[in-house]
Amino acid sequence: MNTNISHNSQGDVPAGNANASMNPAYGRHVEEVRFQSISEQKKVEFLKIATEDPIESHFNDCIAWVNTGQSHDTPIVLDLYGTLVIWTQTRIVLVTAPRHFKKAEQAILDFTTTAFEVGAIEHALPSAWEHYENDIPNGFLFHDSDKESAAALAHRYKQAMSLAGKLSRLSPHIHLAPEHPPTLAGQLGERLRDRSRLVDREEFASEQLDTIIRLYETTGQRVSEYALAQREYVLIWAIVFLLTAEIILLLVDLVSTAGN
């Protein structure tokens, strides 16, 4: 994950916080944050407001700023212990007191990283399903001597296994145990995961991948059986040829012996 400051203006500090803005711990700025997902790099604008002001004084402005972005998803809005979080896939807002800011920000970034990875796996699933129906017969009997067909089946199996592995590595970040005693950062992460249904989404993706993997594990067995059968077939014909040659040589020998 990379961060690049794209905007930082004291002129954007809310009214009533002019004196506080002189302190580096207070202020408002927009930061561009980049997240590396499975297939692409995603960019998010992160509006950060560290202030002791009531969050109600910033709510309307923050909602308006999020709505002017290019995201079409419904924002997740959290109002928790004097902290405001608005989350979409393209714009994020955090308004909280400076003493809570660093941990709250890290909780949001950790959640965003996990959410984008799960989303990337979900977007990759349709391509994994693309050949499923056509490949079902190969799970019962493989009869194609084309090596490219076997290589294609192996590639689809590797693709599904790769997605399943990535999903398994994300699981500890999705199923985080609640903190005791509770902290603001922990509560933010927990509620963001709950509101975005990360647990359900992981379960749905895992079930789909299990179904796909079972098919390609079976087709792998059929391909191996087919290859083995082909080798046995060649071996049998080689034995038949050698026996035939031996019989012919014996007959020739008998004929020559009888002639003498």
Q: Over the stretch 156-202, which tens digit does the pLDDT of each residue have? A: 899 999 999 999 999 999 998 888 888 999 999 999 999 999 999 99
Global pTM value: 0.74
- Predicted pLDDT at 201: 96
Q: How many CA atoms lie within 13 A of 82 on its CB side?
A: 11
| Residue 113 tokens, joined | 């990283």
Q: What does the block give as tokens for 170?
A: 């994300």
- Please determine, for residue 226, whether its predicted confidence score (pLDDT) is greater than 80: no
Could you read off the pLDDT of 53-96 as tens digits, one per residue? 898 989 999 999 998 876 678 899 999 999 999 999 999 999 99
Cα 61 to Cα 56: distance, rounded to the nearest angstrom: 10
Residue 54 CA: distances (Å) to CA of 30, 82, 256:
20, 7, 115
Whole-angstrom Cα distance, residue 101 to residue 105?
6
Name the nearest CA neighbour of 125 among 238, 45, 212: 212
Dist. CA 143–CA 227, nearest whole Å: 10
Domain parsing of the chain, residue ranges: 1-96, 97-235
How far apart CA 1 and CA 9 sit, in angstroms, is 24
Handedness of CA 178, 183, 189, 190 (dihedral sign): positive
Residue-wise pLDDT for 7-57, tens only, equals 443 333 333 333 333 343 467 888 888 887 666 778 899 999 999 989 898
